[in-house]
């Protein structure tokens, strides 16, 4: 008994690559693979032959890690740091449009046809590109018409062409940069590479020189402005010092110096006052005690007192001499006595004068002390005011000092940069100049041919893969079991197979072909279908079999007619019923002249025996459909149709029903639910797997007993290229001798 196939059994080895399936795909798509590969290879050869030989030259520059230091000055623009990012930055600078524009101007590439398309004679590829651009422009109009070809536009075009013709790459992880130029002229390639290297060095020098010049201009302006600022601030300091009286004297202000001097004088005057007071106090104490003049030190230190004492002593000596000769009342004695009295009086007056002098000295000293103390107080008040003004003075001095320091540093830096302008060095040097190439670098014929072969193979394989992806049909019995989950009953070969048969446009009737060639592979396929029906009838008898398909054009009518004819030739009583109310293809094939048929029998207008037509050549009975209008009644769900099936089961060994496509008409589910078995016809490589699955799902929903799938219209030679999955038809060359054709 035929049952649905367990698809999971086929998925156990799905993780492995089926090498045989891949080989089978390549075999059946061999001509597609070869033709597409050959076409791509010929295109590569044609393009290679049309390419103009180009030459490549390479110059090398190296980033200087060590910089010479002639003068210990800090540079305006420092050298490049020795790291990878700096080298990569220089590579991008070498790729810049500005540097390329400088090379274009230096070599005059605008006037060279290779870099100015307007001066170039168009070749085959150029004409093809121009035609393609014209076609695109015609299909997609531009928003604005291109402007006139000005000199600036020609230069931009030359710069773009130069950037495409040059390549700048870092040599590994070193500080060396390779500058590669490609041109149709070997000399021009060399000149471009060397010009790039030279212009790169020049651009570095120009950048440093420009930076130094800009720095000098700025520093010069700053020196002038700072000079004026220093002058103004120093003048402000002097003016404020004069206005505030903060004049310096040996590191201190005049007020501080005056206070110091007054303090010193005050100390001396206080000492003198104390000394004078002490002398006066001592003298008065001695006088108060009644001390003699001879015991008073102040008196003794007086020269006048000493002279008077000398006179007194001389007068006393004379008196003594006169006393010895004269009496007390002697005039000479009296004269001497008066002299002594005068001298004593003078001494007393002198002593009094000394006391008065000491008293005056004390008053003078005391007045001096008071004067100095007053001056000191005044100076201290003035110093307090000076301290308040000194804060502002210090602020002005700091501002002046800061301006002076900044001015001196800017002036020193200006002098340094002025000296550096003549000592500017590049951060890179040319390691190797480009030599003129002797052999072209492109096109590489052998490499292009090899790439053409590889590309052709890839395109061919890709095209084959694309065709396989879009080839959604069923190719073999293995596909039926794997993709549809149903048994593969048989593969019906294509009658007209080959180029000559297709060109002859002759149509062959399948039933007649079986009659003419009963031993053909075509007839043998229907014997296989009949055998499958008989084998599945071992559990339960199978007499009514419906033949359907997913969509029209899959050969279900051919399967029905040919299967009935094969069974009739085997001496079986066979009835073929046309149940496709819309197309009547079975009737048109076997009984085109029928006037009554199935509908008349179901409506009891005609007896069954009168409606059945007998084919004398094969003994096949046919219940056709008349050419009457379609009826909207539920014909196949009626009791009359069920009664008809019961009546014919007793009269025939096999009843075949040609039904409409199951996905197109609702009549088919009603039919398959009442028959013993159903066969689904699938056209080889044409019917998508998705539609076949939908048809089988519809049959399953209608409770139909599906015996399996018949592949129809199979090209055995083509199917043989699908490998082992095609069943025994894969050995077409081996088994074809068993059949008449």
pLDDT in tens, 89-121: 888 888 888 888 889 888 888 888 888 878 777
Long-range CB pairs of 338-344, under 8 A, 24+ apart, other chains included: 339/315, 340/312, 340/315, 340/316, 343/308, 343/311, 343/312, 343/315, 344/312
Looking at residue 484, the DSSP 8-state letter turns out to be I
Closest CA to 416 of 66, 70, 81, 80: 70
- Judge whether residue 367 has pLDDT over 50: yes
- The percent of residues in the chain predicted with pLDDT above 70, rounded, is 79
Q: Which two tokens stand for residue 615?
A: 């084919």
Query: How far are the Cα atoms of 58, 60, 176, 329, 691 from residue 435, in angstroms, in the given order?
Result: 7, 11, 17, 156, 70
Residue with more model confidence, 36 or 17: 36
Question: Are residues 289 and 374 located together in one domain of the fold?
Answer: yes
Q: How confident is the model at residue 722 (pLDDT cuts 50, 70, 90)?
A: low
Looking at residue 483, the DSSP 8-state letter turns out to be I
- Judge whether residue 82 has pLDDT over 70: no
The domain boundary residue, chosen from 394, 423, 452 = 423
Question: Are residues 706 and 649 located together in one domain of the fold?
Answer: yes
- Residue 290 falls within a domain, yes or no? yes
Question: Are residues 277 and 419 located together in one domain of the fold?
Answer: yes
- Judge whether residue 663 has pLDDT over 60: yes
User: Looking at residue 615, what is its pLDDT?
Assistant: 83
Query: How far are the Cα atoms of 83, 102, 389 from residue 234, in angstroms, in the given order?
Result: 49, 52, 16
Q: How many domains does the chain have?
A: 2
Residue with more model confidence, 618 or 679: 679
Q: How confident is the model at residue 695 (pLDDT cuts 50, 70, 90)?
A: confident
- Residue 146 falls within a domain, yes or no? no
Which tens digits make up the pLDDT trace of 227-275? 888 888 788 878 777 776 665 544 456 767 777 888 888 788 888 888 7
Matching residue, tokens 């008994």: 1
Q: How far apart, in whole angstroms, are the C-alpha atoms of residue 590 and residue 621? A: 10
Which helix (H) or strand (E) segment holds residue 166: the answer is strand 166-170
Residue with more model confidence, 487 or 387: 487
User: Looking at residue 36, what is its pLDDT?
Assistant: 85
Q: How far apart, in whole angstroms, are the C-alpha atoms of residue 210 and residue 208? A: 5
- Judge whether residue 453 has pLDDT over 80: yes
Question: Are residues 395 and 476 located together in one domain of the fold?
Answer: no
Measured on CA atoms in the order 322, 325, 330, 331, is the torsion positive or negative? negative
- Answer whether 552's CB lies under 8 Å from 583's CB: yes
User: Looking at residue 565, what is its pLDDT?
Assistant: 85
Q: How far apart, in whole angstroms, are the C-alpha atoms of residue 199 and residue 190? A: 14
User: Looking at residue 597, what is its pLDDT?
Assistant: 84
User: Looking at residue 178, what is its pLDDT?
Assistant: 92
User: Looking at residue 81, what is its pLDDT?
Assistant: 59
- Answer whether 420's CB lies under 8 Å from 71's CB: yes
User: Looking at residue 731, what is its pLDDT?
Assistant: 47
Q: Write the Ramachandran bin of 703: left for phi over 0, alpha for psi from -120 to 50, otherwise beta.
A: left
Task: Write down the mean pLDDT value for the chain.
Answer: 77
User: Looking at residue 251, what is its pLDDT?
Assistant: 44
Question: Are residues 494 and 406 located together in one domain of the fold?
Answer: no
- Judge whether residue 72 has pLDDT over 60: no
Query: How far are the Cα atoms of 71, 214, 519 from residue 76, in angstroms, in the given order?
Result: 13, 10, 103
Question: Are residues 492 and 390 located together in one domain of the fold?
Answer: no
Closest CA to 38 of 444, 452, 448: 452
Q: How far apart, in whole angstroms, are the C-alpha atoms of residue 552 and residue 63? A: 78
Matching residue, tokens 């070498």: 94
CA 242 to the chain's CA centroid: 69
- Residue 456 falls within a domain, yes or no? no
- Least confident span in 291-295, 432-436, 546-550: 291-295
The domain boundary residue, chosen from 383, 407, 423 = 423
Question: Are residues 405 and 533 located together in one domain of the fold?
Answer: no
Residue 441 φ/ψ, nearest 5 degrees? -90, -20
Taking every pair of Cα atoms in the chain, the longest distance, rounded to a whole number of angstroms, is 232
Question: Are residues 589 and 706 located together in one domain of the fold?
Answer: yes
Q: How far apart, in whole angstroms, are the C-alpha atoms of residue 238 and residue 378? A: 25
Q: Which two tokens stand for residue 58?
A: 């390479």
- Residue 526 falls within a domain, yes or no? yes
- Judge whether residue 1 has pLDDT over 60: no
Closest CA to 76 of 216, 196, 186: 216
Question: Are residues 419 and 343 located together in one domain of the fold?
Answer: yes
- Residue 540 falls within a domain, yes or no? yes
| CATH assignment of the domain containing 513 | 3.40.50.300
Looking at residue 584, the DSSP 8-state letter turns out to be -
Cα-Cα-Cα-Cα torsion 445, 447, 453, 458, nearest 10 degrees, comes to -140
- Residue 736 falls within a domain, yes or no? no
User: Looking at residue 421, what is its pLDDT?
Assistant: 52
- Residue 413 falls within a domain, yes or no? yes
Residue 678: partners with Cβ closer than 8 Å, 6 or more residues away: 545, 546, 547, 548, 672, 699, 704, 705, 706, 707
Q: Which residues pair with 709 in a beta bridge?
A: 488, 680
- Judge whether residue 303 has pLDDT over 50: yes
CA 523 to the chain's CA centroid: 68
Which helix (H) or strand (E) segment holds residue 739: the answer is none
Cα-Cα-Cα-Cα torsion 199, 205, 210, 213, nearest 10 degrees, comes to -150
- Least confident span in 290-294, 617-621, 654-658, 679-683: 290-294
| Beta strands at 677-683 and 654-658: parallel, antiparallel or unpaired | unpaired
User: Looking at residue 424, what is its pLDDT?
Assistant: 56
Count how many residues are written for the chain. Answer: 741
Cβ atoms within 10 A of the Cβ of 169, count? 13
User: Looking at residue 123, what is its pLDDT?
Assistant: 62
- Answer whether 386's CB lies under 8 Å from 341's CB: no
Q: Read off the pLDDT of each residue in 144-162 and give the average, rounded to a whole number.
A: 72
Q: Which two tokens stand for residue 396?
A: 């002005």
- Least confident span in 63-77, 118-132, 518-532, 678-692: 63-77
Q: Which two tokens stand for residue 169?
A: 């790459």
CA 103 to the chain's CA centroid: 30
Question: Are residues 418 and 525 located together in one domain of the fold?
Answer: no
Which tens digits make up the pLDDT trace of 269-292? 888 888 777 877 777 777 777 665
Closest CA to 455 of 22, 108, 3, 47: 47
- Least confident span in 37-46, 413-422, 642-651: 413-422
Residue 492 φ/ψ, nearest 5 degrees? -85, 120
Q: How far apart, in whole angstroms, are the C-alpha atoms of residue 416 and residue 209? A: 14
Domain that holds residue 677: 472-731
Q: Read off the pLDDT of each residue in 423-451 and give the average, rounded to a whole number.
A: 80
Looking at residue 185, the DSSP 8-state letter turns out to be S
Q: Which two tokens stand for residue 241?
A: 């010092």
The domain boundary residue, chosen from 423, 451, 482 = 423
Q: Where are the beta strands (DSSP E) in 495-639?
A: 544-549, 574-578, 613-615, 620-623
- Residue 616 falls within a domain, yes or no? yes
Question: Are residues 671 and 544 located together in one domain of the fold?
Answer: yes
In three-state form (DSSP H/G/I as H, E/B as E, the rest C), the secondary structure along 396-440 is HHHHHHHHHHHHHHHHHHHHHHHHHHHHCCCCEEEEECCCCCCCC
Cβ atoms within 10 A of the Cβ of 662, count? 29
CA atoms within 13 A on the CB side of 183: 24
Question: Are residues 397 and 492 located together in one domain of the fold?
Answer: no
Q: Whole-angstrom distance between the N-terminal and C-terminal Cα of the chain?
A: 31
- Judge whether residue 547 has pLDDT over 80: yes
User: Looking at residue 500, what is its pLDDT?
Assistant: 39
């Amino acid at each position: 008994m035929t049952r649905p196939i367990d698809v999971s059994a086929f998925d156990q080895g799905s993780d492995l690559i089926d090498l045989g399936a891949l080989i089978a795909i390549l075999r059946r798509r061999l001509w597609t693979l070869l033709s597409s590969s050959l076409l791509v290879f010929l295109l590569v050869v044609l393009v290679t032959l049309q390419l103009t030989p180009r030459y490549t030259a390479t110059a090398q520059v190296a980033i200087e890690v060590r910089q010479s230091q002639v003068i210990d000055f800090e540079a305006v623009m420092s050298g490049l740091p020795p790291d990878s990012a700096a080298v990569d930055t220089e590579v991008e600078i070498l790729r810049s449009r500005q540097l390329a524009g400088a090379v274009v101007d230096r070599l005059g590439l605008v006037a060279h046809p290779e870099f100015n398309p307007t001066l170039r004679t168009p070749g085959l590829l150029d004409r093809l590109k121009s035609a393609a651009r014209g076609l695109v422009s015609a299909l997609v109009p531009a928003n604005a018409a291109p402007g006139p070809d000005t000199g600036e536009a020609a230069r931009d075009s030359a710069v773009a062409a130069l950037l495409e013709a040059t390549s700048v790459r870092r040599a590994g992880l070193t500080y060396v940069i390779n500058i590669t130029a490609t041109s149709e002229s070997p000399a021009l390639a060399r000149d471009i590479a060397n010009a790039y290297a030279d212009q790169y060095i020049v651009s570095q020098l120009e950048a440093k020189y420009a930076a130094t010049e800009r720095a000098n201009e700025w520093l010069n302006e700053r020196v002038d402005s700072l000079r004026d600022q220093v002058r103004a601030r120093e003048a402000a300091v002097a003016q404020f010092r004069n206005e505030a009286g903060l004049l310096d004297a040996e590191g201190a202000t005049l007020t501080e110096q005056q206070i110091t001097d007054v303090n010193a004088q005050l100390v001396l005057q206080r000492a003198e006052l104390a000394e004078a007071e002490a002398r006066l106090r001592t003298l008065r104490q001695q006088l108060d005690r009644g001390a003699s003049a001879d015991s008073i030190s102040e008196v003794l230190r007086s020269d006048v007192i000493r002279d008077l004492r000398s006179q007194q002593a001389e007068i006393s000596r004379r008196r003594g001499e006169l006393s010895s000769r004269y009496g007390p009342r002697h005039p000479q004695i009296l004269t001497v006595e008066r002299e002594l009295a005068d001298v004593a009086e003078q001494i007393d007056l002198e002593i009094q004068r000394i006391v008065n002098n000491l008293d005056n000295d004390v008053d003078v000293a005391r007045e001096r002390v008071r004067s100095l103390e007053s001056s000191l107080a005044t100076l201290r008040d003035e110093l307090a005011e000076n301290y308040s003004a000194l804060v502002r003075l210090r602020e002005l001095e700091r501002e002046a000092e800061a301006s002076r320091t900044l001015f001196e540093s800017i002036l020193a830096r200006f002098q340094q940069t002025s000296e550096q302008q003549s000592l500017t060095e590049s951060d890179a040097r040319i390691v190797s100049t480009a030599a003129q190439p002797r052999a072209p670098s492109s096109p590489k014929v052998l490499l292009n041919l090899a790439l053409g072969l590889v590309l052709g193979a890839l395109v061919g394989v890709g095209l084959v893969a694309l065709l396989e992806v879009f080839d959604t049909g069923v190719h073999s019995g293995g596909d039926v079991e794997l993709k549809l989950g149903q048994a593969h009953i048989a593969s019906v070969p294509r009658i007209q197979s080959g180029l000559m048969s297709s060109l002859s446009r002759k149509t062959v009737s399948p039933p007649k072909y079986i009659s003419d060639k009963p031993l053909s592979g075509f007839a043998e396929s229907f014997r296989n279908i009949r055998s499958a029906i008989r084998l599945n009838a071992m559990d339960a008898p199978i007499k009514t079999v419906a033949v359907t398909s997913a969509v029209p054009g899959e050969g279900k009518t051919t399967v029905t007619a040919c299967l009935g004819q094969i069974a009739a030739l085997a001496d079986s009583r066979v009835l073929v019923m046309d149940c496709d109310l819309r197309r009547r293809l079975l009737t048109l094939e076997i009984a085109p002249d029928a006037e009554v048929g199935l509908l008349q029998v179901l409506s009891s207008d005609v007896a069954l025996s009168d409606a059945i037509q007998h084919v004398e050549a094969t003994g096949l009975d046919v219940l056709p459909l008349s050419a009457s209008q379609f009826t909207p009644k539920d014909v196949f769900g009626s009791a009359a149709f069920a009664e008809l099936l019961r009546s014919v089961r007793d009269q025939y060994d096999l009843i075949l029903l040609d039904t409409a496509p199951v996905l197109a008409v609702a009549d088919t589910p009603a039919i398959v639910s009442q028959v013993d078995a159903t066969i689904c016809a699938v056209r080889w490589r044409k019917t998508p797997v998705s539609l076949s699955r939908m048809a089988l799902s519809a049959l399953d929903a209608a409770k139909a007993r599906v015996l399996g799938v018949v592949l129809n219209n199979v090209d055995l030679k083509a199917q043989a290229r699908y490998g082992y999955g095609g069943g025994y038809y894969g050995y077409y060359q081996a088994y074809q001798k068993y059949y008449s054709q």
